[in-house]
Structure 1
Amino acid sequence: MSLVRVDHSTVGRWWASLDRWTLAALLALVGIGYVMMLSASPAVAERIGASSRHMFLTRQVVYSMIAVIVMVGVSMLPVKWVLRAAMLGALGALALTAATLVIGTEIKGARRWISFPGGSLQPTEFLKPCLAVAVAWLLAEGKREGRFPGLLIAIALIGGVSWLMKQQPDIGMLAVIVAVFLAQVFVSGINLMWVVAGAGAVVGMAVLAFTLHGHVRSRIQRFLNPESGDNFQIRMSLEAFGNGGMFGRGPGEGRVKDVLPDAHADFVFPVAAEEFGLITCLLILGLFAFIVLRGLWRLMDERDVFVSLAATGLLVQFGLQAFINMGSSLHLIPTKGMTLPFVSYGGSSVVALALGMGFLLALTRRRPARGEEANPFTAGLRAPFPT
């Protein structure tokens, strides 16, 4: 099948309108994740007494294949189906998140997972991208229909999600969702009073989390004063960056993976630094920066409010998660258990990230002017785009 611009097949039209550079960068991250599992996961599997040294690697290969299929498949959806899929996904993930409080599996004092034969599911991972798209529609409809209280409904929705995450608790995930919401509200254009109120609410939530949750307080105190508690993981992480130097010690030659509990997951970045060096770390950082900046650049001429808000939310979410993981590893921010997108080991995380990036690729596809309506439930919700 010829994939040129005169090809009018579904795949041909998809390929011609797709942001292929972003797709290539995302696939590069998936490839880097595979290499890092080859390097980091056998040592972790041995340390925990797994049945096979390659248990995590085998699972990650399966998760990555599913993720690529999901990302490519979702990127083919028209905008109206992106919204419909996100709405259904948000409702389902919200129900499952509530279910974790009753039937969830408790791990390290938190109920964030639902176990089933052969694995587990973290619903909040899927809630993140779906909620970003759903909130974008509420804000866009509020702009389009002056009497529709889109902002107030969005605030109530975020408030309900915040309560559920506090009960789990998952303060880090809550911080990401709130930050994405505030970014979308800012981009939508609001009165200065709302900006001040939002900033005050964030400060109040931070103080409340510090006061009520001992693990949050402990992490902040250890960040501000490393001598106040156990900072073993951070010390080993920083040591790995020092050992790696510019070009690294070589594949398989790192030592930090032998002692760090989450060397294949939350602390995979130090493993990359020790074995492949600063150059590789800058390459990984550059890929994340490229995806976010290119996505924002493609939105510069976007005239549809919903598409702009939804894509902005997905990009902020993706970039913020990468920053939190790398910043924690470098002791730039308090530690937070959050995966490095597509590089760290994870099932729910990898597939949910693929879903979000599939949404992004679908929303940023170039489309010819079609004069469609603005309501995504009845039309494509895409304003005419200059060719």
Structure 2
Amino acid sequence: MTMRVVTAPAEPPQGASHVAPSFTRMDTSVLGRWWWTVDRPMLGAVALLIAAGVFLILAAGPPAAGRIGAQTYHFVQRQFLFVPVAGVLVIAVSLLPVLWVRRIAVLLFALFMVLLLGTLFVSSDIKGASRWIAIGPFALQPSEFVKPTFAVVTAWMFASARTQDRFPGNLIAMLLMAVVGALLVAQPDFGMTMVVACVWGTQFFLAGLSLVWVVLLAAVGMIGAVIAYFALPHVQSRVDRFLDPASGDQYQIRQSMKAFMEGGLFGRGPGEGRVKEFLPDAHTDFIFAVAGEEFGLFLCLTIVALFAFLIIRSAIRLRREQNLFVLIAAGGLLTQLGLQALINMASSLSLIPTKGMTLPFISYGGSSLLSTAVAMGMVLALTRRRAHGERT
């Protein structure tokens, strides 16, 4: 007669049943493959920029609400509704394969082009511009979403012109640029037009345009700038005030520069800034000045470094990329991100004429935050490590 010893299964350590399983390299699930192919340092940089935006909106939002007679945390609460959505969008879009990045971009581009056209007829005029469509208590700015989707669609056209015989991709890209530019000028939004044109020009260059086209496009840009200066009083006023500060009102710039001087190296401390109480657009166009006053040069340089890191890191990820569409699309999206951040920060520092443009991920504005999240999600998707031969 033999005895069988039955051993009870070992109990898991206390609390182990509540620990979520970690991703391993053998995990073939969608999230598992995404985790090991996406650039996690870039994902972390995006999270830090969003976090910086949260802190700065907390600082700049209440004074801005007080100036319009709204509830103290009016802008803070509205922005906080979009922050988690932006986080989800970054991850969700970065999960897409290259083929679906292109498909989604085409669909969204068509949708927001219709809405962009609609702003000319149903938009309410705000500060002399018709850029927003009211959706309940919120206002949607279609041009913000046209920017990233336009970059992907034109990248497809430029790449197809090089890889498919007799495909008129360059001509289609030119026509799209003309239509988008015309709609943006009609609003009017010359800053957005300039950014879109620069992105388009960068993509055309990456697609291998000849030197003749470089000279021609540069000439067209210069002629357009001269026409805008002489034909549009507000453009002329901004340029004149930049070149000669005594020629007009420089209130916002003076307050912005004062904020940087008050902040010094380490800032006055969270919530201790005073210039933001007198700076009308402190929560939007001049939020970089709020960062300078409350957190000093340290945070300002950190923000600059994070944007630089995203662009340089993406370029490193793309250095061995063989897919022309991926190169052109990612190049356009990164140009858009870097140029918009540069314009906002340079305007706050009086290095260029002022231009109403948000600081990506940081300034107040749901349309700006969500469209930037879509753009960065696309960059993360395009720069993921892909197996050789993966369908794109």
Q: TM-score, normalised by structure 2?
A: 0.94
Letter of the structure 2 residue corresponding to residue 22 of structure 1: M
1:375: which partner in 2? none
CA distance in 2, matches of 1:131, 1:214: 29
Partner residue in 2 for 1:141? 160
- The answer for the alignment partner of 2:151 in structure 1 is 132
The Cα shift of 1:11 comes to 0.4
Aligned with residue 180 of structure 1, among 199, 208, 233: 199
Q: Which residue of 2 aligns with 1:296?
A: 315
1:169 matched to 2:188: yes
Hey, what does 1:385 align to over in structure 2?
none
Paired letter, 2:379: L
1:217 corresponds to: 236
Shift of 1:204: 1.4
Q: AA paired with 1:61?
A: F
Structure 1: distance between partners of 2:96 and 2:179: 29
Secondary structure of the structure 2 residue equivalent to 1:105? coil
Root mean square deviation of aligned Cα:
0.9
1:91 paired residue number: 110
Query: What is the Cα deviation at residue 27 of structure 1?
Result: 0.6
Aligned to 1:49: 69
> How much does 1:301 deviate?
0.6
What is the CA–CA distance in structure 2 between the aligned matches of 1:312 and 1:228, rounded to whole Å?
A: 39
Whole-angstrom CA distance in 1 between matches of 2:313 and 2:327: 13
Task: Encode CA deviations 1:322-366: one digit per residue, 9 max, x unaligned.
Answer: 000000000011100111111111110000000111111111100
The answer as to 2:32 corresponding to 1:8 is no
SS of match in other structure, 2:133: strand
After superposition, what is the alpha-carbon deviation per residue over 1:46-84, rounded to whole angstroms, capped at 9, x for unaligned?
12110x211111111111111111111011011111000
- Tell me whether 1:198 sits opposite 2:225 in the alignment: no
Tell me, yes or no, if structure 1 residue 283 matches structure 2 residue 302. yes
For residues 137 and 325 of structure 1, the distance between their equivalents in structure 2, rounded to whole angstroms, comes to: 29
Of residues 123, 126, 146 in structure 2, which corresponds to 1:104? Answer: 123
Q: Write the distance in 2 (CA, Å) between the matches of 1:296 and 1:212.
A: 39
Distance across 2 between alignment mates of 1:307 and 1:15 = 20
2-side partners of 1:281 and 1:134: how far apart? 34
- Alignment correspondent of 2:268: 249
Distance 1:116 1:22 in 2: 33
The unaligned stretches of length 5 or more in structure 2 are 1-20
3-state DSSP of counterpart to 1:115: strand
TM-score, length basis structure 1: 0.95
The 2-side partners of 1:167 and 1:213 are apart by 12
1:64 is matched with which residue? 83
Secondary structure of the residue aligned to 1:110 is coil
Aligned to 1:116: 135
Instruction: Kindly state the Cα deviation for residue 2 of structure 1 after the two structures are TM-superposed.
Output: 2.7
Aligned residues: 372
User: Deviations 1:172-224 (Å, cap 9, x if unpaired)?
Assistant: 00000000000111111111111111111111111121122211111111111
- Partner Cα separation in structure 2 for residue 298 and residue 342 of structure 1: 22
C-alpha distance in 1, partners of 2:114/2:52?
34
Where 2:328 maps in the other structure, the secondary structure is helix
Instruction: Specify the SS of the correspondent of 2:183.
Output: helix
Task: Report the CA distance between 1:40 and its aligned residue.
Answer: 1.2
Structure 1's consecutive aligned runs of 4 or more residues displaced over 6 angstroms after TM superposition are: none
Match of 1:271 among 268, 290, 295: 290
Give the aligned partner of residue 343 of structure 1: 362
Aligned to 1:40: 60
Cα separation, 1, equivalents of 2:362 and 2:162: 38
The alpha-carbon distance between structure 1 residues 200 and 146, as it changes in their structure 2 partners (threshold 3 A), is farther
Distance 1:224 1:127 in 2: 32
1:155 partnered with 2:155? no
SS state at 2:24 partner: coil
CA positional deviation for 1:39:
1.1
Structure 2 distance, partners of 1:105, 1:301, is: 47
